[in-house]
Structure 1
């Protein structure tokens, strides 16, 4: 039973407490564990009630799991977003939240360092060189233990634990050692590299061993699951049979079976579809085109500002089409939304400077008084504005050099309720496995990308409808609820051990 709002605690000495808190010692049967909690702190001044001082974060994972957690008496474990601040467990919109406290050093070394300057580039085919620092690794281990300890304290006997993503790869093993009664799942939202690349990591054995603490390991693509299995065999000498690893304890006896499978994540289809049919959003999409001067073709790119997204390659191809006269600024505009990302990391600061310099050069060369070649937007937008952009765009450009899934591609297709438009999709995204009717490209092949753009611009109506209808059918039957149900269903399956 939750405490009444009147029992809230005031902020004092760096300690914050939300208004609705479970009694101390409450245990949960289902827990999601991720680097961040599914809420963001509101910035409005004068808010004393902490429950009113938070808002639910956008994103498919939160949309998928929040209702599930409410039904399953679940709790979400994660960092609340502010370093050097203690926040006690609280409830928000029916979700019980267990904050993990991180120091400024933790954020710098564990998150900005090991997670995003070591693992992120390594797992994305070393598009940028990863850095290997022992101090970062020490912090990663320490923070993973903080998360595992928080779960152990709050998990009921026999609870189901679902750990999310590359920041927490040691948590499954730590949980198995502390709480062998738990059912542990792990999902990797980014690619898992082949052993030839993973071999570079000095702590490769520890990472594999950490992951093998899980009963079920989920990946975006079958190739990612295969890469993990090959690494487990190569670096730990694990006994791998089909999709199973027979994990042994210190005495050599098999403690459990860890399975690795592909569970491609999806989006909140109903939400995007409903917004795409909303008259106000349809009108907003018309206004966007009008503000651009009603060009014949609107092309759209929506990405986090990250070197894996292929934004530079996309701009190069578009500039060459303008230079060759195949696309004219009077007829076409490229909208590039590049939401801010990891701005304290040097590589990202340099990337932003390069992208903005390239956009400035293109516009300076090809703009007219009435027309803009590239409309560059370095912002994050609410989902309503994103759907309006999807409706306004004739061609969606998803040119990632490497991507676990790419949900933007799925959102664009879902929003095209009239089966119009064209999707240009990198074959190096997880979405390419499912959206086979897209115009698939190798983003490193600039000429190939240019040809795909021209094909998309001139795509016959009948072919466009056929392609979009096929992609929409796939997404509508495999939404984010289907993803979570598939994973949790597999996690709770009884596994028969084959010792033959």
Structure 2
């Protein structure tokens, strides 16, 4: 895969910290094997290390023994340091608090939150382990970049450490939605979580709404002053900066995939194999926040309301497995596959299957072929931090027509107003958006896509990395402020 190296001051010493990193470790009969990880975060940041030496601290995805020290790998300019986690630590920190408290809470599924003090204790202890190891390997770092809700306490723990030389700048990027204080009240440890984040010099989110929600939480829970202008917080004698810096996609990659003759041929083959006049596409992890059940229900209602489309339109739904073993996800899969069966049982003919369902992942080239094949992309999460599938579809399409139907509750919707915006909780809204998308004139499709492409060209994965690092490196912790 071709990537462009990001320019970055060569003398700056950078440490990236995240739950999962560029490698996954697999236990084999001959020992531990290292495999490259596939993730949006890795794709966005790895080009930086093509020209700049740095360190990445992350869990390797395996269970370590109690006193295991973890593994270190050198891959070109990048040193990867594994945070060894035992099965029990993963159960408490990751399966428990991160995935059954933080994730549902931030996506507004409060009924799925399980308040367990043992999970919280495990979460704190693992965050402390990440911070301790980061402090050791990053003792001479200029900048430590922490990622996401798994590690909300790490900035504060790092702030408490004594670094051998100068203290590094600490930045944190929060990748999922950030709710307001009324939602955070559900968690007994909300104050500690906000304090943990405030250990950073710079905290960034995808969109301004999440920034405002964070500032409201600071006002509600913390003895701190939000300075005029709403981007700076005076806290414990220093200034914390809060920004909206949205992640983008690799424009060059997806644009080139869309023009690739092999992939275009594959897209045509997909159309021939599925048949019919129109193809709708859904691509998401099988997570309750992604709204797959609601999308399928809306499609079922569409077929009921508009029988003239029977035999003419097919929904191809890709559901990527995620978090296997957690009860809510097992139940979701059961319900989704039951609904797919019901729709196909009700409406199928010998020549037409209304829903083609895949419970598996696809690589970027395969996804690009699906994007090119689809007349309409249905990106309708019930809540999403940003949603890059929408951006990937738009960029891959290039000059080809297509329609993006996008949930108003996806973070990216505030940028992509030329999409057909829908309320995913309103079935009739979804039904009419599907009809409008299928009947939209080709000229209007191209006009809307071109406007979306122009917007996306301004914020790419590379501009996100550069903007965040520049903001954090230039941050001044001391400002001339008057406090009450």
Normalising TM by the smaller chain, what interval? over 0.9
SS class of match (1:110): helix
Matches within 5 A, 1:204-219: 204-219=190-205
Q: CA deviation at 1:220?
A: 1.0
Give the structure 2 partner of residue 163 of structure 1.
146
Is residue 2:109 matched to residue 1:126? yes
Is residue 2:17 matched to residue 1:33? yes
> Taking structure 1 as the reference length, what is the TM-score of the superposition?
0.89
Among 294, 317, 325, which residue is 1:313 paired with? 294
Q: Which moved more, 1:127-136 or 1:221-230?
A: 127-136
Among 197, 218, 226, which residue is 2:212 paired with? 226
Instruction: Provide Cα deviations, 1:290-337, integer angstroms capped at 9, x if missing partner.
Output: 1112x1100000010011111111111100111223453310110000
Quote the Cα distance in structure 1 between the aligned partners of 2:19 and 2:401: 38
Give the structure 1 partner of residue 346 of structure 2.
365
Q: CA deviation at 1:477?
A: 2.2
Give the structure 2 partner of residue 408 of structure 1.
389
Quote the Cα distance in structure 2 between the aligned partners of 1:177 and 1:226: 27
SS class of match (2:241): strand
Quote the Cα distance in structure 2 between the aligned partners of 1:458 and 1:346: 40
Instruction: Provide Cα deviations, 1:31-60, integer angstroms capped at 9, x if missing partner.
Output: 1100012123479x7877x6xx43322233
> Taking structure 2 as the reference length, what is the TM-score of the superposition?
0.92
| Residue ranges of structure 1 left out of the alignment (5+ in a row) | 1-26, 249-253
Quote the Cα distance in structure 1 between the aligned partners of 2:157 and 2:400: 48
SS class of match (1:178): coil
Give the structure 1 partner of residue 367 of structure 2.
386
Give the structure 2 partner of residue 429 of structure 1.
410
Matches within 5 A, 1:155-304: 155-179=138-162, 181-241=167-227, 242-248=230-236, 254=237, 256-293=238-275, 295-304=276-285
Q: Is the 8 A contact 1:329 1:372 kept in 2?
A: no
Quote the Cα distance in structure 2 between the aligned partners of 1:369 and 1:208: 57
Q: Is the 8 A contact 2:290 2:383 kept in 1?
A: yes
Instruction: Provide Cα deviations, 1:128-169, integer angstroms capped at 9, x if missing partner.
Output: 431110000000000001100111001143520000000000
Q: CA deviation at 1:28?
A: 8.8
Instruction: Provide Cα deviations, 1:419-440, integer angstroms capped at 9, x if missing partner.
Output: 4100000011111011110000
Instruction: Provide Cα deviations, 1:318-372, integer angstroms capped at 9, x if missing partner.
Output: 0011122345331011000000011111001000000000001001111111211
Instruction: Provide Cα deviations, 1:100-122, integer angstroms capped at 9, x if missing partner.
Output: 00111111111011001001111
Is residue 2:279 matched to residue 1:332? no
Give the structure 1 partner of residue 425 of structure 2.
444
Quote the Cα distance in structure 1 between the aligned partners of 2:72 and 2:384: 34
Q: Is the 8 A contact 1:321 1:327 kept in 2?
A: no
Q: Is the 8 A contact 1:419 1:469 kept in 2?
A: no
Instruction: Provide Cα deviations, 1:51-102, integer angstroms capped at 9, x if missing partner.
Output: xx43322233212211213433111110001112554111235421000001
Give the structure 2 partner of residue 66 of structure 1.
46
Provide closer, same or farther for how the CA distance between residues 359 and 187 of structure 1 changes in structure 2, counting only shifts above 3 A. Answer: same
Q: How many residues were matched structurally?
A: 463
Quote the Cα distance in structure 1 between the aligned partners of 2:177 and 2:24: 26
Quote the Cα distance in structure 2 between the aligned partners of 1:326 and 1:200: 45
SS class of match (2:24): strand
Q: Which moved more, 1:467-476 or 1:236-245?
A: 236-245
Quote the Cα distance in structure 2 between the aligned partners of 1:321 and 1:66: 43
Q: Is the 8 A contact 2:15 2:56 kept in 1?
A: yes
Quote the Cα distance in structure 2 between the aligned partners of 1:311 and 1:327: 24
SS class of match (2:372): helix
Quote the Cα distance in structure 2 between the aligned partners of 1:84 and 1:486: 36
Matches within 5 A, 1:8-23: none
| Residue ranges of structure 2 left out of the alignment (5+ in a row) | 1-10
Give the structure 1 partner of residue 401 of structure 2.
420
Which runs of at least 4 in structure 1 moved beyond 4 Å after TM superposition? Answer: 45-48
SS class of match (1:97): strand
Quote the Cα distance in structure 1 between the aligned partners of 2:346 and 2:204: 47
Instruction: Provide Cα deviations, 1:462-500, integer angstroms capped at 9, x if missing partner.
Output: 111110000011112211000111111111114361313
Q: Which moved more, 1:323-332 or 1:111-120?
A: 323-332
Quote the Cα distance in structure 1 between the aligned partners of 2:313 and 2:110: 31
Give the structure 1 partner of residue 479 of structure 2.
497
Is residue 2:153 matched to residue 1:153? no
Across the aligned residues of Structure 1 and Structure 2, the Cα RMSD in angstroms comes to 1.8
